Amino acid sequence: MSIVKKENSLSKWYLPGILKGLGITFRNLIKNLTSRDEMLTLNYPEEKYEYGPRFKGNHVLTVKKDGSLRCTACMLCATNCPADCITIVAAEHDDPSVEKYPINYEIDILRCVFCGFCEEACPVDAIRMGPEWQVPGVNGASFINNISELAYRPSLGGGIKTVLDDEERIKGGI
């Protein structure tokens, strides 16, 4: 981008430009000090930016009304995952109306590209991409999220419940 500046007599001198620039800086300094709401930057990490509701951050496994995992271990997310970062181990559930559920569900968050394909592939609304994204860890292992992290981490407050429950599903004949 080229900016064409109009030559005038003042611009030939050094000092006026400097003073003008300092003026802008000083004005903003005062503005930032007096009205902090309008400040454009954040004091990260004390302050965090709030993203839109459709932001694709760390995964959340949703739960049913009774608090158990919604996931049926169909593996469609793992199939659809382009980064191959989802590992699921399925098992037989005692309740025949549930039948199949994951005993282990791991997402390697360092491999994840946050594309959201898992969310789209899920037939039962069991996985969603949540608002969080900045989760620090001390070694590689701490970036492999398991069920307790994905479904029941403290920030979720006991798990995100899906709207449709089994009873409603059966009632609706789905």
Partner 1 sequence: MPKCTVNGIEVEVKDGATVIEAFMKTNESIAHYCWHPGLSVAGVCRMCMVEIEGNPRLQIACNTPVQDGMVVYNNSEKVKEAVEWTLKFHLINHPLDCPICDQAGECGLQEYYMSHGSYDSEMAERKVKKHKVVDLGEKVVLDTERCILCSRCVRFTDEVTKTNELGIFNRGDRSEIGTFENRPLNNKYSLNTVDICPVGALTSKDFRFRQRVWFLKSFETICQGCSAGCNVQAYYNENGFYRVKPVPNEEVNGHWMCDEGRDVYKFANKEHRLVSGIKKEDSGLSHMAPGAAAVQLREDLSDTKKAALVLTGQYTTEEYLKFVDSFTKNYGNEVYHWINNPKTFDDFDGILLRGDKNPNTVGLLRVLEGKGIKSSWADLEEKLNSGQIEHLVVAGPENLAVFPDLEEKVTLFGQAQKLTVLTPVKSKFYESADYQIPMKSFMEKDGTFVNHKGIEQKLGRGPIVVSQALTLLDLSMILDGSDFISVNSASMGGSL
Which residues sit at the interface with partner 1, rule CB under 8 A?
Answer: 72-76, 79, 90-92, 96-97, 99-100, 123-124, 170, 173-174
Please, what is the minimum distance in Å from the beta carbon of residue 59 to partner 1? 18
Structure tokens given for 19: 């003073």
The burial of 91, by beta-carbon neighbours within 10 Å (0-12 exposed, 13-18 middle, 19 or more buried), is given as exposed
Residues 130 and 140: beta-carbon distance below 8 Å: no
Rounded Cα–Cα distance for residues 139 and 143 (Å): 7
Cβ nearer to partner 1, comparing 76 with 107 = 76
Please, what is the minimum distance in Å from the beta carbon of residue 74 to partner 1? 3
Please, what is the minimum distance in Å from the beta carbon of residue 72 to partner 1? 5
CB count in 10 Å sphere of residue 48: 13
Cβ nearer to partner 1, comparing 58 with 77 = 77
Cβ nearer to partner 1, comparing 58 with 72 = 72
Cβ nearer to partner 1, comparing 58 with 71 = 71
Contacts of 170 (CB under 8 A, 6+ apart): 97
Please, what is the minimum distance in Å from the beta carbon of residue 90 to partner 1? 4
**What residue type is 119 in one-letter code?**
E
